[in-house]
Amino acid sequence: MRRHPSLIPLSRFHRSILFVALMVKKNAPAIQGYPTLLEDKTAYAFDFYNEKLKKHFEVEQQILFPQIAGKDQALDELIREMVQERVHLDNLFMKLQSRNVSEKQLNHLGNTLEKHIRKEERIFFQKIQQVFTSEELDQLKL
């Protein structure tokens, strides 16, 4: 299913998130211009979280979720799951602040972040588009 235009900006940013998730994983390919050392990956991921990802999560939780909540039981359950997963992700990112993170911890963060974003794209956004009409989606204020 093609992404509805009202959700495209969020989907585009999800690509950036998936890139960070890939980059911090163990055995990630070296990408020119991006960190390859554990300490540098940790700093990059923490800065990305503070400068961009927290705001993205806030937009979805404070603007998108309230606009779609209450219309469909399955969507409401997905919202609850998303919020719980984000609490876990927030905790994982906050552990990066100490810069004393193992490769295993960073890999876990990458896998958890990727899983969350893929769920959002493949299940959550798809369900939104099934439940809401095109006209209703046009009215979303993001």
Flag whether 141 is in a domain. Answer: no
**CA–CA dist 50, 61 (Å, integer):** 16
Flag whether 76 is in a domain. Answer: yes
**CA–CA dist 142, 135 (Å, integer):** 15
Is 141's pLDDT higher than 90?
Answer: no
- Domain span at residue 91 reads 8-132
Flag whether 109 is in a domain. Answer: yes
pTM: 0.94
Which of 31, 17, 12 lies closest to 93 in space, CA to CA?
17
* 56 CB burial (10 A radius; 0-12, 13-18, 19+): middle
User: At which residue do the structure tokens 């006209």 appear?
Assistant: 135
The structural domain count of the chain equals: 1
Instruction: Name the DSSP letter for residue 3.
Output: P
Flag whether 139 is in a domain. Answer: no
Flag whether 55 is in a domain. Answer: yes
Flag whether 142 is in a domain. Answer: no
Flag whether 51 is in a domain. Answer: yes
User: CA dihedral in degrees (111, 85, 8, 127; nearest 10)?
Assistant: 110
Flag whether 137 is in a domain. Answer: no
H/E stretch holding 139 reads: none
Do residues 107 and 92 touch, judged by C-beta distance below 8 A? Answer: no
Is 79's pLDDT higher than 90?
Answer: yes
Is 99's pLDDT higher than 90?
Answer: no
Q: What is the pLDDT of residues 13-48, one digit of tens each?
A: 999 999 999 999 998 989 899 999 999 999 999 999
